[in-house]
Amino acid sequence: MATNTATKAAQNGAAATDAAFKAATDAATDFARTASEAFAPTMEKATGQVQEYVDVTFAQAKKSSLAMLDAFDAGLDVTLGLHKQLAHISDVDWVKDAVARYTDVAAQAGANYSRAARELLK
């Protein structure tokens, strides 16, 4: 009879342990669900704010990049214009030809660079 009582006590202890574990698991699950539901709007708001910041930052970077390309184009035009003026002053034909070829190549390269950069910024 003592063995039977010990077996019942062990079974009751195991059942009590299982019940306590289930209660703790249920409580933890309920807490996690409640915390997630309460935290979700805050995360959505924060995500929206970050996205807004990123959008504004990229718009400003694009605007600055386009301004830089405008300055590059203007600077290249002025530089090549000065080269052409200096070549025109020269009395040496091969210097005039070399400068003319250089300015043509530099103008084409600069235009290609600027066009490609602007295409990437679209």
Instruction: Count CB-CB contacts under 10 A for residue 81.
Output: 11
Please say if the pLDDT value at position 118 is more than 80. yes
Q: Which residues of 86-98 are buried (b: 16+ CB within 10 A; e: fewer)?
A: ebeeeeeeeebee
Domain ranges for the chain: 2-120
Please say if the pLDDT value at position 39 is more than 80. yes
120/7: higher pLDDT: 120
Please say if the pLDDT value at position 102 is more than 60. yes
Q: Where are the beta strands (DSSP E) in the chain?
A: none
Q: How far apart are CA 77 and CA 16, in angstroms?
A: 88
Could you tell me the pTM of the whole model?
0.60
Please, are residues 83 and 95 in contact by the beta-carbon 8 Å criterion? no
Please, are residues 103 and 83 in contact by the beta-carbon 8 Å criterion? yes
Please say if the pLDDT value at position 1 is more than 60. no
- Average pLDDT on 67-92 reads 92
Residue 22 tokens read as 């289930």
- Work out the percent of the chain whose per-residue pLDDT is above 90: 49
- Average pLDDT on 49-57 reads 94
